[in-house]
């Protein structure tokens, strides 16, 4: 049988905890002994933030619920600071009073990391939305954490630059949240992860200290690279208040091809061929299966632009010379079609058609929300194994699930495995987990490629990290946030809290 590669002791611990209890219950932690908010606290924040300390239940309702509507917090206080100094004062106060804080950006996360679990104070970055500097020579942008990704993209496009990341949630997500979760998205294949493009951060620590490591430099080897600790730490080690990020030039020519393949093996060979033939202009290689296409058609009334196929690919090229790029793309398409790797396809050069083709990939998450309750898995695997997990899961679940779909970032070896059911179904969940984690661990994959661990996946960390590494994470947490007030119940497993 498939087994996680961690020590027997940990396995026993992990399984013993869950035995006989469905994962939903296993995932609900107990409230830690933080203070409760009293009138004096609200008075303090009202004085500090004048009109931006919100107790209105209607406003709080939206911030207490995650985008998937699967986690429901009970916070009674939302704070909307505008400056780093205000964040610093908020945290200093909360730390002294032992009040827990749930930092929140655009609240588009998919693992329950951005909403309170109990009555944590919500610290929103929504009003910290200013661009601070942009250097047109270096392409380095420095902005506050609450800037919406799409607004930054629009700002930069006017200056002939783009953001190095792009994702479906761009219209709502905040750059600070992107960095805090180390969001990957659709351009990672070309521009790399935020661990490379983020050059500096300003972070407020749990006790209110401000760590200004913003940077206008591409290179800086002076001591430990502290910013890396905060990238992907999901607000558990500090609150990111500003970001310096390296932005590429806006490509002069962009093309998108939407292709159909008969088998996943053909899709993989098409990927290899695209790397060889498109080289430096390849900017995305994404896939969806036929089950995703059916959901897009049924729930969003989108139209499949090509013949029905078991697999679809979205390839984007971005370069500086339209003639050169198109020539390369056409040679590549000729090659994959004559060799029958690809059975049908369409190409877009014009912006509205490019957008329409991209929505077939970007709107799958939205289509899934109309299909019922969705169990989501964001898995990193050796690229050639990506679809095997989807097939194995289908066999494993039989007719227990409504739909089992696979899509994701082929270029990054990142599968989004989503399973729907008419409503929340504990017996379905028990069939999916821990099977999905054991399967992933057996091929040394990661149980969270780009969405983070948040509330939902925190206790499964041992499937992807050795116990020594998790213990060290606990030590780091204890140094930076000794009272544990920052985003409690998230990222780290319950046995460390
Ligand atoms: O909804 C999901 O599971 C994936 C969301 C996002 O990461 C994507 O790539 O579309
Ligand atoms: Zn994704």
CATH at 261: 3.30.70.2190
Q: Residue whose CA is closest, atom 5 of ligand 1?
A: 365
> Ligand 1 centre from 32 Cα, in Å?
31
Q: Are residues 193 and 225 in the same domain?
A: yes
User: Residue 14's domain spans which residues?
Assistant: 8-126+477-496
Ligand 1: atom nearest CA of 376 is: 3
For residue 303, the tally of other CB atoms under 10 A from its CB is 9
Q: At what angle do helices 386-397 and 435-442 cross, to 10 degrees?
A: 150
Ligand 1: atom nearest CA of 368 is: 1
> Ligand 2 centre from 170 Cα, in Å?
12
Q: Last residue of some domain: 225, 246, 267?
A: 246
- Nearest ligand to residue 108 Cα: 1
**Per-residue confidence (pLDDT) for residue 496, from 0 to 100:** 86
Q: Residue whose CA is closest, atom 10 of ligand 1?
A: 362
ipTM of predicted assembly, 2 dp: 0.99
Q: Are residues 191 and 212 in the same domain?
A: yes
- Nearest ligand to residue 405 Cα: 1
Where does ligand 1 bind, in terms of residues with CB under 6 Å?
A: 110, 168, 365, 376, 378, 416, 418
Q: Are residues 45 and 147 in the same domain?
A: no
Q: Is residue 112 part of a domain?
A: yes
Q: Are residues 122 and 13 in the same domain?
A: yes
Q: Are residues 84 and 117 in the same domain?
A: yes
Q: Residue whose CA is closest, atom 2 of ligand 1?
A: 365
Q: Is residue 102 part of a domain?
A: yes
Q: Are residues 27 and 75 in the same domain?
A: yes
Q: Which residues of the chain have pLDDT under 70?
A: 1-26, 497
With tokens 């609450």, the residue in question is 146
Q: What angle do CA 12, 18, 19 make, to 5 degrees?
A: 80
> 344-348 and 311-319: which strand pairing?
unpaired
With tokens 């008419």, the residue in question is 422
Q: Residue whose CA is closest, atom 7 of ligand 1?
A: 185
Would the pTM of this model clear 0.90, i.e. be above it? yes
For residue 429, the tally of other CB atoms under 10 A from its CB is 18
**Per-residue confidence (pLDDT) for residue 124, from 0 to 100:** 98
**Per-residue confidence (pLDDT) for residue 319, from 0 to 100:** 97
Domain count, the chain: 3
Phi, psi of 126 (to 5 degrees): -55, -35
**Per-residue confidence (pLDDT) for residue 497, from 0 to 100:** 67
Q: Are residues 241 and 277 in the same domain?
A: no
Q: Is residue 337 part of a domain?
A: yes
Q: Last residue of some domain: 364, 394, 425?
A: 364
**HEC letters along 323-373:** HHHHHHHHHHHHHHHHCCCCCEEEEECCHHHHHHHHHHHHCHHHHHHCCCE
Q: Are residues 65 and 140 in the same domain?
A: no
| CA pair distance 37, 293, nearest whole angstrom | 48
Q: Are residues 176 and 77 in the same domain?
A: no
Q: Is 265 helix (H, G, I), strand (E, B) or coil?
A: helix
Pocket test for ligand 1, best of 186, 370, 378, 404 (most atoms within 8 A of CB): 378
Q: pLDDT tens-digit profile of 21-49? A: 334 446 789 999 999 999 999 999 999 99
Tell me what the pLDDT averaged over the chain comes to: 94
Q: Are residues 202 and 260 in the same domain?
A: no
Phi, psi of 96 (to 5 degrees): -65, -35
Q: Are residues 327 and 352 in the same domain?
A: yes
């Amino acid at each position: 049988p498939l087994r996680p590669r961690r020590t027997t002791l940990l396995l026993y611990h992990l399984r013993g905890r869950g035995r006989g209890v469905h994962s939903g219950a296993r995932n609900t932690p107990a409230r830690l002994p933080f203070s409760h908010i009293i009138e004096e606290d609200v008075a303090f924040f009202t004085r500090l933030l004048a009109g931006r300390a919100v107790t209105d239940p209607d406003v709080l309702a939206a911030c207490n619920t995650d985008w998937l509507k699967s986690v429901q917090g009970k916070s009674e206080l939302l704070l909307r600071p505008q400056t780093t100094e205000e964040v610093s004062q908020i945290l200093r106060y909360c730390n002294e009073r032992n009040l827990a804080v749930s930092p929140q950006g655009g609240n588009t996360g998919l693992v329950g990391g951005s909403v309170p679990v109990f009555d944590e104070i919500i610290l929103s970055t929504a009003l910290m939305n200013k661009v601070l500097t942009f250097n047109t020579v270096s392409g380095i942008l420095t902005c506050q954490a609450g800037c919406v990704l799409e607004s930054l993209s629009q700002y930069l496009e006017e200056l002939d630059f783009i953001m190095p990341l792009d994702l479906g949630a761009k219209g709502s997500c905040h750059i600070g949240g992107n960095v805090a979760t180390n969001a990957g998205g659709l351009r990672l294949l070309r521009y790399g992860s935020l661990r490379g493009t983020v050059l500096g951060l300003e972070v407020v620590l749990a006790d209110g200290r401000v760590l200004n490591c913003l940077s206008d430099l591409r290179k800086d080897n002076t001591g430990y690279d502290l910013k890396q600790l905060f990238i992907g730490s999901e607000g558990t080690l500090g609150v990111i208040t500003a970001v310096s990020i390296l932005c590429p030039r806006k490509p002069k020519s962009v093309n998108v091809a939407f292709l159909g393949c008969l088998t996943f093996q053909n899709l993989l060979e098409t990927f290899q061929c695209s790397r060889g033939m498109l080289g430096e202009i390849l900017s995305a290689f994404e896939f969806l299966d036929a089950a995703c296409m059916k959901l897009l058609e049924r729930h969003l009334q989108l139209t499949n632009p090509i013949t029905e196929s078991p697999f679809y690919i979205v390839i984007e090229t971005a370069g500086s010379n339209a003639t050169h790029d198109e020539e390369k793309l056409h040679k590549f398409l000729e090659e994959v079609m004559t060799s029958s790797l690809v059975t049908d396809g369409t190409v877009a050069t014009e912006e509205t058609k490019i957008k329409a083709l991209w929505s077939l990939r970007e709107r799958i998450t939205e289509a899934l929300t109309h299909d019922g309750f969705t169990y989501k898995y964001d898995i990193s695997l050796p690229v050639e194994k990506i679809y095997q997990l989807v097939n194995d899961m289908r066999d494993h679940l039989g007719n227990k699930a409504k739909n089992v779909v696979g899509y994701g970032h082929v270029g990054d070896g990142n599968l989004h495995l989503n399973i729907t059911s008419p409503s929340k179904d504990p017996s379905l969940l028990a069939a999916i987990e821990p099977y999905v984690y054991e399967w992933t661990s057996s091929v040394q994959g990661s149980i969270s490629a780009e969405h983070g661990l948040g509330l939902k996946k925190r206790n499964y960390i041992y499937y992807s990290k050795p116990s020594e590494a998790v213990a060290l994470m606990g030590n780091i947490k204890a140094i930076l946030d000794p009272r544990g007030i920052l985003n409690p119940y998230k990222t780290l497993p319950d046995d460390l809290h």
